[in-house]
Amino acid sequence: MKQQHDLIPMTTGELLKQERSARKLSLADVARAINLDEKLLDEIESEQTTHLAPVYLKGYIRAYARYLQIGEDKIQALVSESGSHEPPIQNIFAAPPKSNPLDKWLRATSYVLASLLIGTLAWQFSHEAVRLSQDGSQLGKTTDNRQRIESTIKLDQAKGIRGTVNASIAPLGALHGGNAEGIDAAEQAWAAVSRPPVPDGESRLKLVVSADSWVEITDANGQQIEMDLLRGGSEKGYHGKPPFRILLGRASAVRLTIDGEPVDLTGYGADDIAQLTWPKNLQADNSGQDEN
């Protein structure tokens, strides 16, 4: 009877259910561990997954099987059996409009008019500033003369009382320099907040996804940086210690860069699933150290 049961091929859901039961785990235990819905896991085990897109289903099965510690070869076979047909990828980026000579002429005319307007306003502002500075100089001279006369009268009236009056005016350039330094400091602070530096020995990753894709990223320390379904049109950044183990469930819809350098994903998988370790040179160095 057991030999007859072994000859009957098991479905993916039956195999996952059998492995879970052998480990005495409930659906609720697995759902909490891999952050998936318990109802979804039950549908996978009962093979009621026609309402799920193949790319989602493969990612769910892969996460479920890895949690049950099933071998990678067997996981790949389970993923290949589920959802053999995927919907075609549609380009979500709008095609650039055709150039129109009239639009170019209007754009050039607007640019010229805006330049003339800005130049006129700048000239008027400079002229007004010069006039105000000259008026201020004349006013300062008149005030200085009046103070000098009043001081002379007071000295004549009260002899024996001597004193000096010192006045200094800070250069206008120094004030401008202080403002410039303040602006530079603010810009540097904003740059530090918006793009914090990567710690020594780590690298920065960036993913741009044009269609829904399952993504898994693990760094050299074994830390799970990402394990989720990224929505189409999203962009995410990460950092960690290389080399990185990367799995992309829909590689043709993903653009990957590491430290600003694009990574060519062709040749790293089949069925639009890419699995690689990057950078390659760090992978080779680590393998050599393991052999020693």
- Mean pLDDT confidence for 40-54: 86
Q: What is the pLDDT of residue 208?
A: 94
Q: What is the pLDDT of residue 118?
A: 93
Does 142 have pLDDT greater than 60?
Answer: no
Q: 69-101, pLDDT tens digit by residue?
A: 888 888 887 777 765 545 555 555 566 666 678
- Mean pLDDT confidence for 15-35: 89
Cα(240)–Cα(219) distance, integer angstroms: 6
CA neighbor of 226 nearest in space, from 59, 72, 95: 59
Cα(226)–Cα(35) distance, integer angstroms: 13
Q: What is the pLDDT of residue 190?
A: 59
- Model confidence at 107, pLDDT cuts 50, 70, 90, reads confident
Answer whether 225's CB lies under 8 Å from 240's CB.
Answer: yes
CA neighbor of 77 nearest in space, from 8, 18, 12: 12
Strand 235-240 and strand 224-230: the pairing is unpaired
Asked whether residue 49 is assigned to any structural domain, the reply reads yes
What is the arrangement of strands in the sheet containing 273-278, beginning at the earlier edge strand?
A: 224-230, 213-218, 244-248, 273-278, 269-270
Asked whether residue 164 is assigned to any structural domain, the reply reads no
Residue 276 makes CB contacts below 8 A (sequence gap 6+) with: 245, 246, 265, 268, 269
Q: Among the three residues 33, 62, 81, which one is the final residue of a domain in this structure?
A: 81
Tell me how many domains the chain contains. Answer: 2
Residue 263 makes CB contacts below 8 A (sequence gap 6+) with: 256, 257, 278
Asked whether residue 181 is assigned to any structural domain, the reply reads no
Taking the model in full, what pTM does it have? Answer: 0.35
Take residue 132 and report the two structure tokens written for it: 């105000």
State how far Cα 104 lies from the chain centre.
Answer: 34
Take residue 63 and report the two structure tokens written for it: 């996460």
- Model confidence at 284, pLDDT cuts 50, 70, 90, reads very low
Q: What is the pLDDT of residue 179?
A: 46
Asked whether residue 211 is assigned to any structural domain, the reply reads yes
Q: Among the three residues 81, 100, 124, which one is the final residue of a domain in this structure?
A: 81
Cα(247)–Cα(273) distance, integer angstroms: 7
- Mean pLDDT confidence for 212-221: 90
> Across all residues in the chain, what is the average pLDDT?
75
Asked whether residue 191 is assigned to any structural domain, the reply reads no
Q: Among the three residues 81, 110, 142, which one is the final residue of a domain in this structure?
A: 81
Q: What is the pLDDT of residue 13?
A: 82
Answer whether 263's CB lies under 8 Å from 256's CB.
Answer: yes
Q: What is the pLDDT of residue 206?
A: 92
Q: What is the pLDDT of residue 1?
A: 40
Residue 275 makes CB contacts below 8 A (sequence gap 6+) with: 246, 247, 248, 268, 269
Asked whether residue 31 is assigned to any structural domain, the reply reads yes
Q: Which of 35-39, 62-66, 260-264, 276-280 has the lowest mean pLDDT?
A: 276-280
Q: Which domain holds residue 263?
A: 203-291
Asked whether residue 13 is assigned to any structural domain, the reply reads yes
CATH number at residue 13: 1.10.260.40
Asked whether residue 221 is assigned to any structural domain, the reply reads yes
Q: Residue 117: in which H helix or E strand, if any?
A: helix 101-157
